[in-house]
C-alpha cells in the first residue's frame, strides 16, 4: 500500500505539566483523566478515526508511563521516541522522530488538550484542505468563543486565502494542537531543543503557513480547575 497523506502522526507528550500540579506529581499530563478517559486517548481516537496507520509518541517527564501506554496500543501502531536524556520541545521532538514519520505530510497533535468534531472530523478536513503546491504546514485553529477553559487572546489571523499571520486580540483564532506538516519544513534542522514556532515563522515568511477554522469545540485543559470545567461541559452533551 502506497503511503498516503496523514497515514502517520506525531503525538507530543513530553511536557512537564507544571500548571496541572498536583495532578501531575505522579503521572504525565497526557495521562490525566477527563470524564474517565486519559487526555491522550481523546487524541488517539481522532487519529484512529482518521485512518492513521502509524504514530509516534515522545516522552520525557514520567516517560516510562508514556512508554507503557504506547505498548498497549494496536490501532494505530504507536512507537516511542525517548527524550529522557533531554527534552526537545515541540520542534526538536518532531525532528528526532522524523525518520519514523514517513515522507508525506503527517499529522501532529498535542496530547494535553482535545477537541470535539463538528459535522466533518477535523483531521479529515485538514487532509482535504492540503495543497502541496501552496503550503508546508496547515494548522487547526478555533474561534475563541468555541473554546472551553481557554483565556488567551488567540494566536493567528486567518486570511481569505487561508494563509496565516501572527495576531492576538479581536479577530484572532487560537491554535488548538493539531496540524498537518510536510517533512520538507524540517530541511536543515538538527535534533536539539527548539519550538515549532521557529518553523512556523519561517513558513509565514514564505507564505506557506495555512490554517482552517475548527467547526466543533476545543477543550484547553491546562489546570485542575479546567479538568472540572471540561467534565461539566462534556456532561451536557
pLDDT in tens, 22-72: 989 999 999 999 999 999 999 999 999 999 999 999 999 999 999 999 999
The answer to whether 205 and 171 have CB atoms below 8 angstroms apart is no
DSSP classification of residue 47: H
Residues 175, 61: Cα–Cα separation, whole Å: 24
Tell the residue number behind the cell numbers 501506554, with chain if given. 69
pLDDT at 161 over 50: yes
pLDDT at 19 over 90: no
Residues 138, 130: Cα–Cα separation, whole Å: 7
Residues 52, 75: Cα–Cα separation, whole Å: 8
Q: Which residues pair with 38 in a beta bridge?
A: 33
The answer to whether 200 and 156 have CB atoms below 8 angstroms apart is no
Q: Which grid cell is 54?
A: 502509524
Domain ranges of the chain: 8-234
CATH architecture for segment(s) 8-234: Alpha-Beta Complex (3.90)
Nearest to 129 by CA among 218, 6, 46: 6
Q: Among the residues of the chain, which ranges form H helices?
A: 39-49, 63-71, 89-97, 122-129, 196-205, 224-234
In this prediction, residue 17 has a pLDDT band, given cuts at 50, 70 and 90, of confident
pLDDT number for residue 23: 86
Q: Residue 137's CB: how many other CB atoms inside 10 A? A: 22
- Mean pLDDT (whole number) for 171-187: 96
pLDDT at 1 over 70: no
pTM above 0.85, yes or no: yes
Q: Residue 89's CB: how many other CB atoms inside 10 A? A: 20
DSSP per-residue codes, 140-179: EEEEGGGEES--S--SEEE-TTSBEEE--STT-EEEEEEE
Residues 68, 235: Cα–Cα separation, whole Å: 30
Amino acid at each position: 500500500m502506497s503511503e498516503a497523506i496523514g497515514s502517520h502522526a506525531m503525538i507530543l507528550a513530553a511536557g512537564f505539566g507544571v500548571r496541572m500540579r498536583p495532578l501531575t506529581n505522579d503521572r504525565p499530563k497526557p495521562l490525566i483523566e477527563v470524564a474517565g478517559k486519559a487526555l491522550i486517548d481523546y487524541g488517539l481516537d481522532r487519529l484512529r478515526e482518521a485512518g492513521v496507520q502509524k504514530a509516534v509518541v515522545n516522552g520525557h517527564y514520567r516517560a516510562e508511563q508514556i512508554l507503557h501506554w504506547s505498548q498497549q496500543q494496536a490501532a494505530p501502531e504507536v512507537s516511542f521516541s525517548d527524550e529522557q536524556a533531554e527534552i526537545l520541545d515541540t520542534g526538536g521532538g518532531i525532528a528526532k522522530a522524523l525518520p519514523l514519520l514517513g515522507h508525506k505530510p503527517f499529522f501532529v497533535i498535542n496530547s494535553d488538550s482535545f477537541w470535539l468534531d463538528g459535522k466533518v472530523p477535523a483531521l479529515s478536513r485538514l487532509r482535504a484542505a492540503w495543497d502541496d503546491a501552496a503550503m508546508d504546514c496547515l494548522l487547526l485553529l478555533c474561534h475563541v468563543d468555541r473554546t472551553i477553559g481557554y483565556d488567551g487572546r488567540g494566536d493567528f489571523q486567518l486570511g481569505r486565502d487561508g494563509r496565516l499571520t501572527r495576531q492576538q486580540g479581536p479577530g484572532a483564532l487560537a491554535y488548538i494542537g493539531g496540524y498537518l506538516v510536510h517533512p520538507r519544513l524540517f530541511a536543515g534542522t538538527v535534533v536539539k531543543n527548539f519550538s515549532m514556532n521557529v518553523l512556523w515563522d519561517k513558513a509565514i515568511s514564505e507564505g506557506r503557513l495555512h490554517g482552517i477554522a475548527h467547526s466543533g469545540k476545543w477543550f484547553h485543559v491546562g489546570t485542575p480547575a479546567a479538568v472540572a470545567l471540561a467534565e461539566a461541559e462534556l456532561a451536557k452533551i
